[in-house]
Amino acid sequence: MSAEAHAHPDAHTGHDDHHHHEESFVSKYIFSMDHKVISRQFLITAVIMATLAMGMSFLFRLQLAWPGEHFAIINFILGDKWGKDGIMAPEMYMALVTIHGTIMVFMVLTAGLSGTFSNLLIPYQVGARDMASGFLNMLSYWFFFLSSVFMLAGFACETGAASGGWTVYPPLSALPQAMDGSKLGMTMWLVSMSLFIVSSLLAGLNYIVTILNLRTKGMSMTRLPLTIWAFFVTAVLGVLSFPVLFSAALLLISDRSLGTSFYLSDIYIGGQALEQTGGSPILYEHLFWFLGHPEVYIILLPALGITSEVISVNARKPIFGYRAMIGSIMAIGFLSFIVWGHHMFITGMNPFLGSVFVFTTLLIAIPSAVKAFNYITTLWKGNIRYTPAMLFAIGLVSTFISGGLTGIILADSALDIPIHDNYFVVAHFHIVMGVSAILGMLAGVYHWYPKLFLRHMNKKLGYIHFWGTFISAYGVFFPMHFLGLAGVPRRYYSNSAFPMFDNLVDINVFITCFAMLAALVQLVFLFNFFYSMFRGPKSEQNPWGANTLEWTTPMAHTHGNWPGKLPTVYRWPYDYSKPGKPQDFCPQTVPLEEGEIDGGGH
Amino acid sequence: MIKILVYVAIILAIFAIGYVVRVYELATSLKGKKQHEVTDSDNRMMGKIMLTFLVVFFAFVIWNLESFGPKMLPESASEHGVGLDWLFNFNMTILFFVFTITHIFLFYFAYKYYGRTGNTATYFPHNNKLEMIWTVIPAIVLAVIIIFGLKAWNTITAPASDNAIVIQLYSQQFQWTARYSGTDNKLGDSNYKLITDTNPLGMDDNDNKGDDDIIVKNEFHIPLGKEVEFKLNSRDVIHSAYMPHFRAQMNCVPGMTTMMHFTPRITTQQMRDKLNNQKFDYILLCNKICGVSHYNMQMTIIVDTEIDYKVWLHAQATHKSQVNASAAKPVAAK
Ligand code: HEM
Ligand SMILES: [Cu+2]
Ligand SMILES: [Cu+2]
């Protein structure tokens, strides 16, 4: 199958870097349809959003560690309305938690992660000149951009941003009488998420079509790097599950504005009995988590894909169990659609149904365990080169294991009863999803920075960044398990209303200190990231000695990626340190020798 | 003023980092070294830090267990909770074992195999036997976990026995109300359309099952060793009745009734003595975000001996008597 014919007309091939069609600044950097530019747009937007969301967590961590204390910085940032005398208003606390969660989950780790790396790597690694549709790809970025703007604009509302938690369960989110955050702020949230879903669908369809149709000659599905496999399954999950969230949002909008009662029944609020009967909030929960659970794998799989690639390249060894890795990605993808009920064990859902979800959820642990073991075995007898990316990838393996293990407790419905919705859950999902995916994303940034910006990031600062981040991530989230085991509910503005929590203040102070350290270390990253863009040392073509196709393109942002013909692929991407080869790597474009078996076969 | 100084300091610090980096880069490029290239000494250093991290990490975990562990909830005050705590510890033991083994391998390999020029990695792309082993072993362990877990789940969620004491827990922004079903052990009908200031639960006075119901606020009592069944309702948004000391939780969902039941096994006084804290109380919290005062929606739970419980209950006014009293008042005033 020759992809060349579809990707770009042949007129493009072989033309010189300097003789582009005269592109204006706007068409080159703003409304660009080039996957490399769009990838950078996603990345920079995500870095900004992540910084804001982290700033929010810093503010509410101050409140949790020292409730009632006066902080000049709170008053400075939140103003007199929300931060009078330096004390955060409870409304503001809820809004910050909600928007922090939403931005991290959707803007940073869904759009930011997939948007950056699927866009950058899919055309490069499958050997295509660009995405199947550059135009839809561009639209996907701009929908995402608008969505981010609307999400932040919630804070500009007189009544504050959405504050019902990132899950925005009705009736709380459906009834403006229920809280100020459910007024205009909630509308902004819904608009933002609707735009986001459009963006994610446009992007996902593009990824799928490109992977299926635009693979270059010789690039069979079983020669795809694991990054591409991960992006592929991620895109399929997104395309199948985001529309369900969209329908949930539409019904919510309808309940909010048109007086319908999909989610509402028998409610007396604000001194008044509402007319609506017959609906059920549980319907919303089902719809939400039908997306919500696959969503955590939409976040995690790309990070795992990046890790597979980074670990293999830097251990100078083939990834262990390539086919088992593909199998587990697919198993995780499939199972993730039939486990959503583990978020609903104590909502009043039929207990028998609960048992079914216990079973399916614990099944997911098997392919996840296989992945973890395979990563560890890949390190065994390697010749590990510690680039900053490699450190982040190893960090991911650690947090993926330690966060995944507590998931086994939460998936056990009986054990979930006393810890559901408390800080044990906050600890669990931050470690397994938040920290792991952030580490994976950073591994990707350090590893592919030369392809993104043609330069290198500073190695030493990268080391500092990794150890600071990794240590403070455990410092922040590990002790949270104990808050949960002490019974502290999540989404509490303050624990001081309960004498039983008085002895937990020191844990909260401890956590906040590490959160501040984490934030400080990210400044090192921000500096390194932006500084290296302009001043970093220029990169040679294949700085890591890697096998995949992106490193066969010149270190320039060439329109159409390869100046000449598209490369032909002869082997799988993991021939590192293969006996009998002159170097410890062997790019996919090197033909097989007489009698050589491909794909790690014997 | 201090604020401005802080900002100035931050900006200066950023410039300082930039300057140091620049100088460092210039210095290394003079030495003819590409500074982004990873050297053997980098690898050695990172490998050693990996090993150090392993040790420090486990020290940290143990320190956490020692200093934060005692702050966890005291032993379960409900009968089923004892089994749950056992199951939790059982699972945690398995998980901690897996956690330890995998982390030792991960960080030890990360140290042992740090790169040295001249070394080559071993080409080891797959091994069906190994992969089989680590698919099957987790599967077996998980099967054990699932079987124990579902057994516990089925007993906890089985219907309450017929002689369980029925109590309604009624949630609204931001308070709890408890309604005892009285001598007939049946709750009177109610309807949200009947809610008024004087009838906050919307009780239907035409239904005389409700006459002996007893409505209490702020604090409710339950008897030691008797099964109690809670029927949960909400007036406005979703709340969650969370009683951590009893290892019990269930959401309160508007438009439907949810249920949970348990048997208390330690009275409040006994627990106070055990904990050596005479101010201790069992608490009902709200554990589902429900609005601005979600963080302060509570009710005290008192576990009494059966006799004390009966005495307390008898001292409470029934719904009927309250209705009569408030109906009598306006007449008396005239
Ligand atoms: C600087 C690092 C971070 C800190 C200190 C932090 C801290 C917190 C805390 C303390 C909460 C619970 C607040 C409450 O329940 O009252 C929370 C909620 C949350 N965080 Fe983070 N977080 C961080 C990074 C992340 C990342 C990387 C993610 C990505 C997934 C994330 C996603 C969430 C989500 C989804 C929630 C739940 C929001 C809700 O309850 O609706 N956070 N965060
Ligand atoms: Cu889930
Ligand atoms: Cu609440």
Query: Whose atoms come closest to the Cα of A492: which ligand?
Result: 1
Q: Where are the domains of chain A?
A: 33-265+275-552
Following CA atoms A11, A14, A17, A19 in sequence, which dihedral angle do they give, to the nearest 10 degrees?
A: -50
Residue B246's CATH number: 2.60.40.420
Q: Is B86 touching A (CB cutoff 8 A)?
A: no
Q: Is residue B263 part of a domain?
A: yes
Whether A164 is in the pocket of ligand 1, judged by its Cβ within 6 Å, is: no
Q: Is B49 touching A (CB cutoff 8 A)?
A: yes
Q: What per-residue confidence (pLDDT) applies to B26?
A: 63
The rounded distance, in Å, linking the Cα atoms of A391 and A99 is 30
Q: Which of A209, A192, A43 is nearest to A114 (CA)?
A: A43
Yes or no: say if B188 and B208 are a contact pair by the CB < 8 Å rule: yes
Lookup: tokens for B146 = 């699932």
Yes or no: say if A43 and A116 are a contact pair by the CB < 8 Å rule: yes
Whether A491 is in the pocket of ligand 1, judged by its Cβ within 6 Å, is: yes
The residue nearest atom 28 of ligand 1, judged by CA position, is: A434
Neighbours of A397 (CB within 10 A): 27
Are B119 and A383 within 8 A, CB to CB? Answer: yes
Residues in CB range of A167: below 8 A, 6 or more apart: A288, A292
Question: What secondary structure does DSSP assign to B50-75, as a single string?
Answer: HHHHHHHHHHHHHHHHHHHGGGS--S
Q: Which of B222, B294, B293 is nearest to B261 (CA)?
A: B222
Neighbours of A299 (CB within 10 A): 27
Q: Is residue B306 part of a domain?
A: yes
Determine how β-strand B175-180 pairs with β-strand A272-273. unpaired
Q: Which of B199, B318, B173, B170 is nearest to B257 (CA)?
A: B170
Residue of B nearest to A466 (CA): B46
Range of the structural domain that residue B299 is part of: 165-320
Q: What per-residue confidence (pLDDT) applies to A7?
A: 42
Lookup: tokens for B70 = 């005692």
DSSP state at residue A538: B
Yes or no: say if A171 and A276 are a contact pair by the CB < 8 Å rule: no
Whether A298 is in the pocket of ligand 1, judged by its Cβ within 6 Å, is: no
The rounded distance, in Å, linking the Cα atoms of A407 and B2 is 45
Lookup: tokens for B102 = 């995998």
To test the ligand 1 pocket, which listed residue (A99, A104, A483) has its Cβ within 8 A of the most ligand atoms?
A104
Q: What per-residue confidence (pLDDT) applies to B13?
A: 73
Placement of tokens 């406005």 in the chain: B236
Q: Is B7 touching A (CB cutoff 8 A)?
A: no
Are B115 and A365 within 8 A, CB to CB? Answer: no
Whether A57 is in the pocket of ligand 1, judged by its Cβ within 6 Å, is: yes
Q: Is residue B112 part of a domain?
A: no
Query: Whose atoms come closest to the Cα of A90: which ligand?
Result: 1
Q: Which atom of ligand 1 is nearest to the CA of A102?
A: 35
Are B251 and A579 within 8 A, CB to CB? Answer: no
Yes or no: say if B281 and B302 are a contact pair by the CB < 8 Å rule: yes
Sign of CA dihedral A573, A574, A577, A579: negative
Residues in CB range of A263: below 8 A, 6 or more apart: A170, A171, A174, A251, A252, A255, A279, A280, A281, A283, A284
Beta-carbon neighbours within 5 Å of ion ligand 2 = A 293
Taking the centre of ligand 2 as the mean of its atom positions, its distance from the CA of residue B302, in whole angstroms, is 36
Q: What per-residue confidence (pLDDT) applies to B323?
A: 84
Say what the pTM is: 0.92
Yes or no: say if A322 and A574 are a contact pair by the CB < 8 Å rule: yes
Cα of A26 to nearest chain B Cα, Å: 31
The low-confidence residues of chain A, meaning pLDDT below 50, are 1-20, 602
Residue of B nearest to A458 (CA): B36
Q: Is residue B91 part of a domain?
A: no
Contacts with A, B 95-114, CB within 8 Å? 95, 98-99, 102-103, 105-107, 109-110, 113-114
Q: Which atom of ligand 1 is nearest to the CA of A61?
A: 10
Lookup: tokens for B26 = 């210039």
Q: Is residue B267 part of a domain?
A: yes
Yes or no: say if B169 and B292 are a contact pair by the CB < 8 Å rule: no
Whether residue B6 has pLDDT greater than 70: no
The rounded distance, in Å, linking the Cα atoms of A462 and B95 is 32
Q: Is residue B55 part of a domain?
A: no
The residue nearest atom 19 of ligand 1, judged by CA position, is: A101
Distances (CA, A) of A570 to A566, A598, A602: 13, 8, 17
- Yes or no: is domain A33-265+275-552 CATH 1.20.210.10? yes
The rounded distance, in Å, linking the Cα atoms of A218 and A126 is 10
Placement of tokens 């995998």 in the chain: B102
- Total structural domains within chain B: 1
Q: What per-residue confidence (pLDDT) applies to A10?
A: 39
Lookup: tokens for B75 = 């032993």
The rounded distance, in Å, linking the Cα atoms of A475 and A427 is 11
Lookup: tokens for B77 = 């005050």
Q: Is B64 touching A (CB cutoff 8 A)?
A: yes
- At A386 the three-state DSSP class reads coil
Q: What residues of chain A lie within 8 A of the CB of B98, using their CB?
A: 401, 405
Whether A113 is in the pocket of ligand 1, judged by its Cβ within 6 Å, is: no
The rounded distance, in Å, linking the Cα atoms of A329 and A326 is 5
Cα of A484 to nearest chain B Cα, Å: 8
Q: What per-residue confidence (pLDDT) applies to A602?
A: 45
Q: What residues of chain B lie within 8 A of the CB of A408, using their CB?
A: 91, 95, 142, 145
pLDDT tens profile B141-179: 999 999 999 999 999 999 999 999 999 999 999 999 999
Q: Where is A289: in which H helix or E strand?
A: helix A281-315
Q: What per-residue confidence (pLDDT) applies to B61?
A: 96
Residue of B nearest to A391 (CA): B46
Yes or no: say if B50 and A397 are a contact pair by the CB < 8 Å rule: no
Q: What per-residue confidence (pLDDT) applies to A29?
A: 76
Q: What per-residue confidence (pLDDT) applies to A539?
A: 92
Are B254 and A171 within 8 A, CB to CB? Answer: yes
Q: Is residue B105 part of a domain?
A: no
The partner residue sitting opposite A527, judged by closest CB among B14, B255, B290, is: B14
Q: Is residue B229 part of a domain?
A: yes
